[in-house]
Structure 1
Amino acid sequence: MTLRATIVVPTYRRPDLLDRCLQALTALDFDPAEGEIVVADDAGSEETRTQVEGWARRSAIPIRYATPASAHGPAAARNAGWRAGQGGIVAFTDDDCIPDPRWLAEGVAAIEAGADAASGRVVVPLPERPTDYERDAAGLARAEFVTASCFVRRDVLESVGGFDERYAQAWREDSDLQFALLERGCRIDRASRAVVVHPVRPAPWGISLRQQRKSLFNALLYKKFPDRYRRQIRASPPWDYYATIGAMATAAAAAYSGSPRIALAAAAIWAALTVRFCARRLRHAATDPRHVLEMAVTSALIPPLSVFWRLYGAFKFRVLFL
């Protein structure tokens, strides 16, 4: 029997968050006989399997466990999840989200009204003066199509092959699916009443440095959909980063070759660009000493790291991408 909907929740060793998400999903305003939940465990963890089986025993809506066969990452986990399900409509959310009771019903209604896919709404609660990381995470609330809250017909997912599993991190795999659907002429509607709350988790000091690795996946998205990338991502090359690196390299080369005036001038330009970048990140943000120190240190390191990963992505995916 084909169910109306399959909910896919990818997870990776986050039992507390998964419990919170499943608590919300098992309380949805939706006939449990018409749906199911598939938890796609990218870690293949016995602890997570046991956790999911415990939820399945006490839930009215069926809950099943799945894990990717070979590839890893959120894209591979989501593919394993929807392929293990039976619902004619596949609803995606994440283990760190809290779906509203009407989330699934509103998303399913948008598809059954004629859409091939639908984008729900993501609410990201923020303090009055958020950290740089919290403000960055809040970008989910402005995104056109994100897997924290989206819905796709199963046959449409099959026609595009699901998610591209080369996206090994949670970055751009949702835009890739959106662009693939649009290239096929699919209709994507907005289901604004299909709401999930996405609280921002505490992050370790210097998290922005680790996040720079995501830049390599911009190159993959650009290679596959150059026109849509230019129009919809609207991300020009980070010329300020290149200028910062150029000033830093010039200062080092001039100092090494015995040209102190040039070295000082280039170092001054590097310092000015770094201070401007740091000030921009701190504008209307948290100003406690720990956060200010983090912004100062990471603002000096982000430009070279970001450019490295962008160029690595261009090399890895064989595309001219600055």
Structure 2
Amino acid sequence: MNARAPLISVVVPTYERPDLLERCLAALLRQTLAPDDWEILVCDDGPSPQARAVAQAMSARAGGRPAIRYLPVSRTQGPAGARNVGWRAAGAPVIAFTDDDTLPEPGWLQEGLEAMASGAEAAVGTIVMPLPPRPSDLDRDAARLEQAEFATANCFVRRDILEAVGGFDERYTLAWREDSDLHFALIERGCRVAPAPAATVVHPLRAARFAAGIGMQKKVMFDVLLYRKFPRLYRQRIRSGPPWFYLSVCAALLLALAALLGGWQRLAMAALLLWGLLSLFFFLRRLRLSAFTLRNVAELLLTSVLIPPLSVFWRAVGAARFGGGLP
């Protein structure tokens, strides 16, 4: 046990990825910060013997310096709740957040602390997501995390500020918009968020199952929650208006179906043609910058048809669940 409190606590939420967790912890143990100055809290969102064993093995490998604590999380579901368990159990005045699939650079914590030393309430580092030579549309979409204004894959927040804003909103049960929610809460409180460009984590892309973008549309309902809580900031920093393109695609498809049921064949064919042209435009726009491979083309064809109606559907689900208007 450390004789004094650490300067910074690292919170790492994890869920059923012991191999990635081990890789992340191995990278963390290469930090240049003195071992007694920091600690790691592994927050297991689906408590498992495998994750516990990884945390214990890495702690033994480090000789207990820095301390690595395993925290099972069963009361909530999702990374927001897991991070809350972590920072509330932390012993340091500054909390560093990253994910179990990242590789923090050796100077990550040192650079983060230096950024916080300026008196900022929070700081954001650099996320690097290397793309393969022939990236798919899904790869390019995932790599947009590099441009995120505030992401929990690489950020630092004072513990007292987390207490003041209540931490993460645990209604975000998927890894989506919970970091923007905290960022907006900090902004509304007048907190200063400092840049820490030298505090770098590498975030390797992970292989995704075919047409993974279909299931990812469920996350859109959390845009509704974020919009309900912070409408002004959402319009300024996320989206300035409704998703008119998706709504147009859905309107054309619904008109075609209604016309068919009503026996208006010409109107149905015209609406169906409009829907097909809009879907083709969406497909070609996404294909233009991504890999021209059989898998990617097939994936884009399927998802270009399904994403607009699914996105609108999950927005409606979000509105029903969280109330308020649609973003």
Q: TM-score, normalised by structure 2?
A: 0.96
Q: Residue in 2 aligned with 1:25? A: 28
Ranges in structure 1 where 5+ consecutive residues have no aligned partner:
none
Q: Residue in 2 aligned with 1:299? A: 304
Q: State whether structure 2 residue 222 is matched by structure 1 residue 255.
A: no
Within a 5 Å distance, the mapping from 1:271-290 to structure 2 comes to: 271-290=276-295
Q: How many Å separate the matches in 1 of 2:89 and 2:229?
A: 27
Q: In percent, how many aligned pairs have the same letter?
A: 51
Structure 1 residue 102: Cα displacement: 0.4
Q: How many Å separate the matches in 2 of 1:251 and 1:27?
A: 59
Structure 1 residue 234: Cα displacement: 2.6
Q: How many Å separate the matches in 1 of 2:16 and 2:113?
A: 29
Structure 1 residue 314: Cα displacement: 1.1
C-alpha RMSD of the superposition: 1.0
For the 8 Å contact 1:132–1:285, the answer to whether it is kept is: yes
Question: Per the alignment, in what secondary structure is the counterpart of residue 137 of structure 1?
Answer: helix
Q: State whether structure 2 residue 314 is matched by structure 1 residue 320.
A: no
Q: How many Å separate the matches in 2 of 1:260 and 1:180?
A: 52
For the 8 Å contact 2:45–2:74, the answer to whether it is kept is: no
C-alpha deviations, 1:152-208, integer Å up to 9, x for none?
A: 011111111111100001110001101111111111000000000001100000100
Q: State whether structure 2 residue 97 is matched by structure 1 residue 88.
A: no
Deviates further, 23-32 or 228-237: 228-237
Q: State whether structure 2 residue 109 is matched by structure 1 residue 104.
A: yes
Deviates further, 249-258 or 288-297: 249-258
Structure 1 residue 114: Cα displacement: 1.0
C-alpha deviations, 1:82-131, integer Å up to 9, x for none?
A: 11110111000001100000011100111122111000110010023311
Find the partner of 1:5 among 4, 8, 30.
8
Question: Per the alignment, in what secondary structure is the counterpart of residue 87 of structure 1?
Answer: coil
Ranges in structure 2 where 5+ consecutive residues have no aligned partner:
none
Q: State whether structure 2 residue 245 is matched by structure 1 residue 240.
A: yes
Q: Residue in 2 aligned with 1:153? A: 158
Structure 1 residue 235: Cα displacement: 4.5
Find the partner of 1:42 among 19, 41, 45.
45
Question: Per the alignment, in what secondary structure is the counterpart of residue 40 of structure 2?
Answer: strand
Question: Per the alignment, in what secondary structure is the counterpart of residue 29 of structure 1?
Answer: coil
Q: How many Å separate the matches in 1 of 2:92 and 2:153?
A: 18
Q: State whether structure 2 residue 312 is matched by structure 1 residue 310.
A: no
Runs of 4+ in 1 over 4 A off after TM superposition: none
For the 8 Å contact 1:75–1:168, the answer to whether it is kept is: yes
Structure 1 residue 46: Cα displacement: 2.0
* Structure 2 letter corresponding to 1:30: L
Aligned pairs, how many?
A: 322
Q: How many Å separate the matches in 1 of 2:191 and 2:259?
A: 56
Question: Per the alignment, in what secondary structure is the counterpart of residue 7 of structure 1?
Answer: strand
For the 8 Å contact 2:14–2:43, the answer to whether it is kept is: yes
* Structure 1 letter corresponding to 2:34: D
Structure 1 residue 256: Cα displacement: 2.0
Q: Residue in 2 aligned with 1:163? A: 168
Deviates further, 55-64 or 94-103: 55-64
Q: State whether structure 2 residue 106 is matched by structure 1 residue 114.
A: no
Q: Residue in 1 aligned with 2:274? A: 269
Deviates further, 163-172 or 121-130: 121-130
Question: Per the alignment, in what secondary structure is the counterpart of residue 93 of structure 2?
Answer: strand
Q: How many Å separate the matches in 2 of 1:188 and 1:167?
A: 22
Find the partner of 2:73 among 68, 89, 112.
68
Q: How many Å separate the matches in 2 of 1:257 and 1:15?
A: 56
Q: How many Å separate the matches in 1 of 2:315 and 2:46?
A: 27
Q: State whether structure 2 residue 228 is matched by structure 1 residue 223.
A: yes
Q: State whether structure 2 residue 150 is matched by structure 1 residue 133.
A: no
Q: How many Å separate the matches in 2 of 1:47 and 1:21?
A: 15
For the 8 Å contact 1:67–1:81, the answer to whether it is kept is: no
Q: How many Å separate the matches in 2 of 1:128 and 1:190?
A: 30
